[in-house]
Amino acid sequence: MSIPNEALQKLVQEIETQAITAQREINVVKAAVASKQRDIRMLELTSTEVKQLSSDTKVYEGVGKMFMYTPTENVQTRLVSETTELKSDISSLNKKLHYLETTYKNSREHIDQIFKSSGR
């Protein structure tokens, strides 16, 4: 029992489209992870700089076009919470990346199987 060539071509096209889509999404997710890791490094650097300041140093944060005084403890708390949030985002992106890589690999394997079975 063999599958008609037209059906086989359609199946290969669908699987290849899925593989291409997965590859594109893999690139997007990798870029997002890199961006978030860069943000984490910047937040950690800022945090170490803020920790080195004396307790009487005034810290100002940008709000739109102006700056507002913010206690050092509040700045440090915000930096830690943003870092934690970014690490959580990276974790979920890595899970998505693993899923996409598995999808891509499976799609390629299916295409190879189709070509091997049709070549008999």
Q: What is the mean pLDDT of each run of 10 residues along the chain (120 residues)?
A: 73 90 96 97 96 90 93 93 97 96 93 77
Bridge partners, residue 60, by sequence: 69
Residues contacting residue 103 through CB under 8 Å, at least 6 positions apart: 18, 19, 22
Locate 48 and state its tokens: 């170490």
Q: Give the model's pLDDT for residue 104.
A: 94
Considering the entire predicted model, what is its pTM?
A: 0.81
Answer yes or no: are the C-beta atoms of 93 and 34 closer than 8 Å: no
DSSP 64: T
Q: Give the model's pLDDT for residue 3.
A: 67
Locate 117 and state its tokens: 């079975």
Answer yes or no: are the C-beta atoms of 103 and 18 closer than 8 Å: yes
